[in-house]
Amino acid sequence: MEGVPSRPVRIVVGFAPGGGADITVRLIGQWLSERLGRQFVIENRPGAGGNIATEAVVRAPADGYTLLMVGGYNAINATLYDKLKFNFIRDIAPVAGIMRVSNVMAVNPSVPANTVPEFIAYAKANPRKLTMGSPGYGSSPHVSGELFKMMTGVDILNVTYRSVMLTDLLGGQVQVGFPTIVASIEYIKTNRLRALAVTTATRSEALPQTPTVGEFVPGYEASTWYGVGAPKATPAEIVDKLNKEINAGLGDRKLNARLADLGGDMLALSPADFGRLIAEETEKWGNVIRALNIKAE
């Protein structure tokens, strides 16, 4: 086989069609199909924050025909869920990074704060008056907000939504949130939300004028990231071939531009470097979740 598949390959994604993970994996699947002349089929298996899809791939044959769309949620889930039937780092082989995506610290325009320091001062002057909306316990927007609260000492109530939180943030029922750039950029551009900062360590090309949280809260960094994984025993030549082709895609002008439109910074890494990133993120969010005693719903 020499790393090139002879029949269709499944990429399993743990979320419904239309979200950030799904849109990203479809772009990569299309690229791989064109490059390798074989169909890469996207299979959506939503549920339990990505765990159902992950477990399905852990149990799949390690022959290169079943891949997993991996993301920051996998690193968070390792600590968030008590009784997983797999160990993500042990059971999934890192294949390739795709991109890192920033969240945005966004407030309803009614909040009298135009900067992060103004927001911190206002929140401290009005303890427990402000509410933070988040889409589910342990989601990237939730832990990004909890890390902010932990590092600044502000007392804000968290309101968790089963579905879309942005409607209430736009309506002012909650005052602050940490949504992804992808989900919120149109509202920011039309001034329906005010972006105070982005959560990545460096400014985002999608919102170049917006500072980072870390410019005011030293050491703060939160983001989600996407990549591709495979069952642990997948042969190295298959992993290396896929890694090479995905990295070529990240360097391709057209595909790069489409991923950048989603607010992503490319993560062209070797399998080993992607594995290190996963381990670091798992440890970092594990510490936050344990410190705050966050539990999956």
138: in domain: yes
Q: Decide which of 215, 248, 271 is a domain's last residue.
A: 215
Provide the domain limits for residue 68: 9-100+224-292
Question: Would you state the pLDDT for residue 100?
Answer: 93
Q: How far is the C-alpha of 38 from the C-alpha of 7, rounded, in Å?
A: 6
Same domain, 124 and 208: yes
To which residue do tokens 């990074």 refer? 97
CATH number of residue 199's parent domain: 3.40.190.10
Residue 32 in this model has a pLDDT that exceeds 90: yes
Q: How far is the C-alpha of 73 from the C-alpha of 148, rounded, in Å?
A: 18
34: in domain: yes
What's the whole-number mean pLDDT along residues 209-229?
Answer: 97
Q: How far is the C-alpha of 166 from the C-alpha of 121, rounded, in Å?
A: 24
Question: Would you state the pLDDT for residue 163?
Answer: 65
State the Cα angle at 92 between 86 and 97, rounded to 5°: 135
Pick the range with the lowest mean pLDDT from 32-36, 79-83, 164-168, 275-279: 164-168
What's the whole-number mean pLDDT along residues 200-217?
Answer: 95
Residue 101 in this model has a pLDDT that exceeds 80: yes
The total number of structural domains in the chain stands at: 2
Same domain, 36 and 115: no
CATH number of residue 251's parent domain: 3.40.190.150
Same domain, 110 and 203: yes
Same domain, 38 and 175: no
Q: How far is the C-alpha of 209 from the C-alpha of 221, rounded, in Å?
A: 18
Predicted confidence (pLDDT) per residue in 55-95, tens digit: 999 999 999 999 999 999 999 999 999 899 999 999 999 99
148: in domain: yes
Residue 1 in this model has a pLDDT that exceeds 50: no
**Among candidates 64, 74, 73, which has minimal Cα distance to 95?**
64
Pairing label, strands 223-231, 40-44:
unpaired
Query: What tokens does 52 get?
Result: 């159902």
When the pLDDT of each residue in the chain is averaged and rounded to a whole number, the result is 94
Q: How far is the C-alpha of 268 from the C-alpha of 227, rounded, in Å?
A: 10
What's the whole-number mean pLDDT along residues 148-161?
Answer: 94
**DSSP code at position 133:** E
297: in domain: no
- Are 94 and 243 in contact by the 8 Å Cβ rule? The answer is no
What's the whole-number mean pLDDT along residues 102-107?
Answer: 96
Residue 290 in this model has a pLDDT that exceeds 60: yes
Question: Would you state the pLDDT for residue 3?
Answer: 62
What's the whole-number mean pLDDT along residues 146-160?
Answer: 95
Q: Decide which of 173, 197, 215 is a domain's last residue.
A: 215
Same domain, 47 and 76: yes
Measured in degrees and rounded to the nearest 5, phi and psi for residue 113 equal: -150, 130
Q: Decide which of 185, 215, 245 is a domain's last residue.
A: 215
What is the value of pTM for the model shown?
Answer: 0.89
Residue 31 in this model has a pLDDT that exceeds 90: yes
- Are 178 and 131 in contact by the 8 Å Cβ rule? The answer is no
Same domain, 193 and 148: yes
Same domain, 200 and 113: yes
- Are 189 and 261 in contact by the 8 Å Cβ rule? The answer is no
4: in domain: no
2: in domain: no
Pairing label, strands 9-13, 66-71:
parallel
1: in domain: no
Same domain, 92 and 110: no
125: in domain: yes
Predicted confidence (pLDDT) per residue in 169-204, tens digit: 999 999 999 998 888 989 999 999 999 999 999 999
Same domain, 131 and 194: yes
Percent of the chain with pLDDT over 70: 98
Same domain, 96 and 110: no
Same domain, 115 and 33: no
Same domain, 158 and 142: yes
Residue 4 in this model has a pLDDT that exceeds 80: no
